[in-house]
Chain A
Amino acid sequence: KAGVTQTPRYLIKTRGQQVTLSCSPISGHRSVSWYQQTPGQGLQFLFEYFSETQRNKGNFPGRFSGRQFSNSRSEMNVSTLELGDSALYLCASSSSAHRRNGTGTYEQYFGPGTRLTVT
């Protein structure tokens, strides 16, 4: 079974520009989460999508947005890039054991990440 794929792998942008990153989850996985990883802050949660709906959102400004398509592929967008947005952006997919009461325990499987450098 193919793993999580992310494109592009590397990206260089200048301040003020916008960027779109793409993630294809493991086949059959309906949940996609996005994380930002920096040396100082570690892995920080951005948002999670499940069946095309944003189910959770982290503490990031509105410049960070995302969406999920009907085939579970997801994109995240960062507008008006700042130098501090330079990071490794990771996508993770999960089967997200979904129960009526909203509970579930699931492992997340990560892609290789997109290294974004803002100059």
Chain B
Amino acid sequence: EDQVTQSPEALRLQEGESSSLNCSYTVSGLRGLFWYRQDPGKGPEFLFTLYSAGEEKEKERLKATLTKKESFLHITAPKPEDSATYLCAVQASAGYSTLTFGKGTMLLVSP
């Protein structure tokens, strides 16, 4: 069974204080790993897809990396508007596989 574990559950940062969120996964053959951002009361917003170990993708202050067992979402010099819950999901390579989500990391950036 595919599993995704995200840590920490919650993270409080000062504006400008860089940090990383972790996503550990077990899957029977990874087809893709996805990062989403979710604001309260809204649907998740797609951020990145990573396909293979060593791959990196960047968007503004966010950078996602992937190894064979985990992914990191690095947040550089965060701003209060980066406050949200960040979700990680994996898709296995077997057939028409669905996404398995972690429970997310709730990030709060204080000014």
Interface of A toward B, CB cutoff 8 Å: 4, 33, 35, 41-45, 48, 50, 55-56, 58, 90, 92, 102-105, 107-113, 115
Contacts and interface: CB of A to CB of B under 8 A. Distances in A.
Interface of B: 31-32, 34, 36, 41-46, 49, 51, 87, 89, 91, 93, 95-104
Contact of B44 (A56, A90, A103, A115): A90
A48 B102 contact: no
A35 B101 CA distance: 10
14 contacts: A33-B98, A33-B99, A42-B103, A43-B87, A44-B101, A45-B100, A48-B98, A56-B97, A90-B44, A103-B93, A107-B49, A108-B34, A110-B36, A111-B43
A107 B96 contact: no
Contact of B102 (A42, A45, A104): A42
**What does DSSP make chain A's interface, helix, strand, loop or mixed?**
strand
A118 to B, nearest CB: 18
Nearest to A104: B96
A105 B91 contact: yes
A105 B31 contact: yes
Given A33-B98, A56-B98, A103 B43 contact: no
A32 B38 CA distance: 19
B34 to A, nearest CB: 7
Given A48-B98, A50-B96, A105-B32, 17 more contacts: A4-B43, A33-B98, A35-B101, A42-B102, A42-B104, A44-B101, A45-B98, A45-B100, A55-B96, A56-B97, A92-B43, A103-B93, A105-B31, A105-B91, A109-B46, A110-B46, A113-B43
